[in-house]
């Protein structure tokens, strides 16, 4: 069987896989990183989004062998070693942008990439359009959009506005 060498959440791995193994299967079954979910098996829902070399990628549509030499970040790799959440994770928590939580890891990973690609800011319409590849069956996106908008200034080094009294 072929071997894949890749870095996942900062740790180097060399894993033996069948040629047909999907990246999501490698992450979940071989590395035990179950935060990346399989929701549809057709690349429609976005529950499996991870970052491959810094770009959001649906891991159910990528073969593990295609990740040879790549750096992968999963939802488990976002928080700091001391447990401090990534700003996007913190804003999802603060704005109640989840209910059942199934879509949340993929949604967070997609949202981070979306914010990164828009250093000049994001409108509500741009956030909603940017999430078209991610499905949430619970929240109707309102709080997810609010969380992403709130994370933008944090991720781009701007202080959060003071709360209105």
Question: How many whole angstroms separate alpha carbon 156 and alpha carbon 115?
Answer: 9
Q: What is the pLDDT of residue 158?
A: 79
Query: Could you give the CA distance from residue 31 to residue 62 in angstroms, rounded to a whole number?
Result: 16
> Is domain 3-76 in CATH 3.50.50.60, yes or no?
no
On whether the pTM is more than 0.85, the answer is: yes
pLDDT value at 100 more than 50? yes
pLDDT tens, residue by residue, 50-89: 999 999 999 999 999 999 999 999 999 999 999 999 999 9
Does domain 87-155 bear CATH number 1.10.150.120? yes
**Among candidate residues 105, 129, 134, the one with its CA nearest the CA of residue 40:** 134
Instruction: Give the strand pairing for 71-73 and 3-8.
Output: parallel
Query: What pLDDT was estimated at residue 97?
Result: 93
Start-end ranges of CATH 3.10.20.30 in the chain? 3-76
d(C-alpha 87, C-alpha 70), whole Å: 24
Q: How many helices (H) and strands (E) does the chain have?
A: 5, 5
| Alpha-carbon span 42 to 155, nearest angstrom | 31
């Amino acid at each position: 069987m072929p071997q894949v060498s890749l870095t996942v959440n900062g740790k180097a791995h060399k894993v033996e896989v069948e040629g047909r193994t999907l990246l999501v299967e490698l992450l979940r079954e071989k590395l035990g990183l179950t935060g990346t979910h399989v929701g549809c098996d057709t690349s429609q829902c976005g529950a499996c989004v991870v970052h491959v070399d810094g770009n959001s990628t649906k891991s159910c549509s990528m073969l593990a062998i295609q990740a040879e030499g790549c750096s992968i970040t999963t939802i488990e790799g976002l928080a700091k070693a001391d447990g401090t959440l990534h700003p996007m994770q913190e804003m999802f928590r603060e704005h109640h942008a989840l209910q059942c939580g199934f879509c949340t890891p993929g949604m967070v990973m997609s949202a981070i990439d979306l914010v990164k690609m828009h250093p000049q800011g994001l409108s509500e319409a741009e956030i909603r359009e940017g999430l078209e590849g991610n499905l949430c069956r619970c929240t109707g996106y309102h709080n997810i959009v609010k969380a992403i908008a709130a994370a933008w200034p944090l991720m781009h080094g701007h202080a959060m506005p003071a709360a209105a009294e």
